[in-house]
Chains A and B, each alone.
Chain A
Amino acid sequence: MRTFYVTLKYIAVTLWSMFVIAPFLWALSTSFKDFNSVTSGATYIPWVDFEPTLEGWRVLLRSPAQGGVNIVEPYLNSIFVTCFASLISIALGTLAAYALSRFTFKAGFIRNDDITFFFISQRIMPPVVLAIPFFIMLGKLGLLDTLFGLVMVYVVLLMPIAVWIMVDFFNKVPIEIDETALIDGCNPYQAFYKVVLPNSIPGMVVAGLFCMIFGWTDFFFAFILTFTEVQLLPVAIVSLNSSITPWWSLSAAALVSVAPLIVVAFIVERYLSKGNLSGALK
């Protein structure tokens, strides 16, 4: 009976692993194909099924004038917007979460929980609800199609995540830490900066990872709020998906764009196995 369960478990895990890997393998194989190997039906193994070429990868580095698709600039834009928006969100989110976890707020019927809910509820908002007013607002401010405008929008998307994770985290950091610091003669800001902050780095790392995941993978706002001047990576790649799709460069670009966040998977797993994540995710 026991061996039966174990066998079943390994079969299930293997099947799911294959399902997870399948699209990546297909993309990898496709990225080495040319027009003929794509349009003559599905082929899988290079040299056996088709003659591999590096064209799909070379196109990515060439400028559009030479018939390439420049994804270097969108790549840098994406990194800039994601990192900058994540940093702002974590800085402001951590401060707000600290306040919500340590002090009591009361204004009419509004309590701490209501303020926390206000922050988190921004995730319920479907992007499409905000897209049109953002479009008009950024247009009026002259920020449409600029990196700064995107950072602003992304802060709204990411700050709720930072607040959600950090409130939970601070609730688990014993309040005695702050009190000892205050007794030792720190003012509240010093207590926060010198004592609480160094103890919150694991929480901030987790919050940062989640901000980066959701910032890097967002498509909709970048799609609506930028046109030609500034392009983010997902938009640049999806725009390759036109009527005559160059599957080879599309696959290569997709793999390149997905690569950096796979590192994040390793970091998340480390936090998970050390047990640091369970506190931060509930």
Chain B
Amino acid sequence: MNFKHKYMFLLPGLLVLLGILIFPIGFTVRLSLSSWDSFFPGLDFIGLENYVRLFTDDARFWESFQRLSFLSITTVFLQYILGFSLALMVWKDIVFQRFFRVLFLIPMMTTPVIMTVIWKTVFHESLGPVNDFFSLFGMTPLWLSSEGLSKVTVIIVEVWQWTPFMFLLLLAGLLSLPKEPFLAASIDGAGPIRKFVYVTFPLMAPISIGAIIIRLIEASKIMDTVYVLTSGGPGTSSETSSFYIFIKGLREFQFGYSAALSLTYLIIMIISLTVIAKMLVKLMIRS
């Protein structure tokens, strides 16, 4: 085809995206080298001072990052197990198949922040139904205001919200699998468990990897849930990186410092996601 036409197709999208993004990204880099805050707004130049502060004198950032890693890996792991199980269950041989499929998809269609507000009333420590149930046993767990349990609450809500996405990707994968390997396994007399271990799981490995990576990317942005449920509290015990950057940037208006945080965070994310992707490929293809 003609050489010039291909640019007519590509450029509108590319230029719009670049046009909208080039300023924000360039500006963030420049901002990270300045001390812009609410007292002295303006682009001065302080070199790498923000980065030095970040790496030597900001334990809170690194703690929030550890917490984020813990939360996102745990939730994605749970979502994968649950999503895969659910997809297998409604894959075939089930009554009301379409009803269950639609039902299992619904949570991902709902606005996370709005459903989190509802969850907050569900987990309300004195007026919510969850503690109404636990009070039968004389217990009142502090779902939102104790350090350990607030993380559990965040995980429960994240699992409710996003397992459907995992379910969707994996069910789409299951439905596209070829029939022959299953027939062959049946002829060889393999039971359901052996069929899963030797046929379904290996065939699903590439799709699983894709789904896990997509979910890890999205989970690393956990923010709405934390903001509504606990606001990072009690103290800083459920604060994730995004939320910490949000506080520094848009609550304390330390624009310069939060830009340095953002860029560092972005680079760590890109590197770690690439590494995780490589590791998963190795693990799942081999087994």
Query: Which of B17, B105, B192 meets A269, CB within 8 Å?
Result: B105
Complex Cα–Cα for A153 and B16 (A): 11
The residue from B10, B101, B131, B273 contacting A272, defined by CB atoms under 8 A apart: B101
Q: For the complex, what is the distance from the CA of A88 to the CA of B20, rounded to whole Å?
A: 14
A20–B104 CB distance below 8 A: yes
Q: By the criterion CB–CB under 8 Å, are B113 and A163 in contact? A: no
Q: In whole Å, how far is B129's beta carbon from the nearest beta carbon of chain A? A: 5
Flag whether A142 is at the interface (Cβ < 8 A): no
Shortest beta-carbon distance from A238 to chain B in Å: 6
B109 touching A272, Cβ below 8 Å = no
**Are B101 and A155 closer than 8 Å at their CB atoms?**
no
Residues 225-282 (chain A) with a chain B CB within 8 angstroms: 233-234, 237-238, 240-241, 245, 247, 250-251, 254, 257-258, 261-262, 264-266, 268-269, 272-273, 275, 277-279, 281-282
In chain B, residues 103-150, which have Cβ atoms closer than 8 Å to a Cβ of chain A?
A: 103-115, 117-122, 126-129, 131-132
| Interface assignment of B250: CB less than 8 Å from any CB of chain A | yes
Contacts of B70 in A (CB 8 A): none
Tell me which residues across on chain A come within 8 A of B263, comparing CB atoms.
129
A16 CB within 8 Å of chain B: yes
The one of A42, A136, A264 that contacts B128, using a Cβ cutoff of 8 Å = A42
Cβ contacts A103-145/B at 8 Å (1 or 0 each): 1010000000001000101111111111111111100000000
Is A44's beta carbon under 8 Å from chain B?
yes
A41 beta carbon closer than 8 Å to chain B:
yes
A217–B110 contact, CB under 8 A?
yes
Asked if A278 meets B173 with Cβ closer than 8 Å, knowing A41-B127, A133-B27, A213-B108, the reply is yes
Contact B223 A128 (CB under 8 A): yes
Q: Are B129 and A9 in contact (CB under 8 A)?
A: no
With both chains docked as a complex, state the minimum distance between the C-beta of B222 and any C-beta of chain A, in angstroms: 10
Once the chains are docked, how many angstroms separate the CA of A23 from the CA of B13?
40
* A-side contacts of B217, CB under 8 Å: 123-124
Interface with B: A50-58, A59-67, A90-98, which one? A90-98
| A41 and B132 contact, CB distance less than 8 A | yes
| Given A13-B90, A189-B5: A128 in contact with B110 (beta carbons within 8 A) | no
CB-CB under 8 A from B104, the residues of chain A are 16-17, 20
Q: A99 an interface residue at 8 Å Cβ cutoff?
A: yes
Interface contact B269-A126, CB-CB below 8 Å = yes
The 8 A CB mask of B136-173 against A (1 = contact, 0 = none) is: 00000000000000000000000010000000110111
A129 touches B266 (CB 8 A): yes
B28 at the interface (CB under 8 A from A): yes
**Interface 1/0 per residue, B235-251 and A, CB below 8 Å:** 00000011001100110
| A99 with B114: CB separation less than 8 A | no
Nearest neighbor of B131 in chain A, beta-carbon distance: A42
A216 within 8 A of B: yes
Sort chain A's interface into a size bin: 35 or more
Q: Are A92 and B107 within 8 A (Cβ)?
A: no
Q: Is A156 an interface residue (CB 8 A)?
A: yes
* B131–chain A nearest beta-carbon distance, Å: 8
Within 8 A of A (CB), among B21-51: 21, 23-25, 27-28, 31
Given pairs A102-B6, A251-B118, 5 additional interface contacts (CB within 8 A): A93-B13, A126-B269, A182-B1, A189-B5, A213-B108
28 A-B residue pairs with CB within 8 Å: A9-B94, A16-B86, A20-B103, A20-B104, A23-B115, A23-B118, A23-B160, A26-B122, A26-B129, A42-B128, A42-B129, A103-B9, A121-B270, A122-B17, A123-B218, A124-B269, A130-B24, A131-B250, A132-B262, A133-B28, A137-B27, A188-B1, A189-B8, A219-B224, A241-B120, A257-B111, A257-B114, A262-B106
A-B pairs with lowest CB-CB distance, top 8: A96-B13, A278-B176, A133-B24, A99-B9, A42-B132, A103-B6, A99-B10, A92-B13
Interfacial residues, chain B to chain A (CB-CB below 8 A): 1-2, 5-10, 12-14, 16-17, 20-21, 23-25, 27-28, 31, 82, 85-86, 89-90, 94, 98, 100-115, 117-122, 126-129, 131-132, 160, 168-169, 171-173, 175-176, 192, 207, 210, 217-218, 220-221, 223-224, 228, 241-242, 245-246, 249-250, 255, 258-259, 262-263, 265-266, 269-270, 273
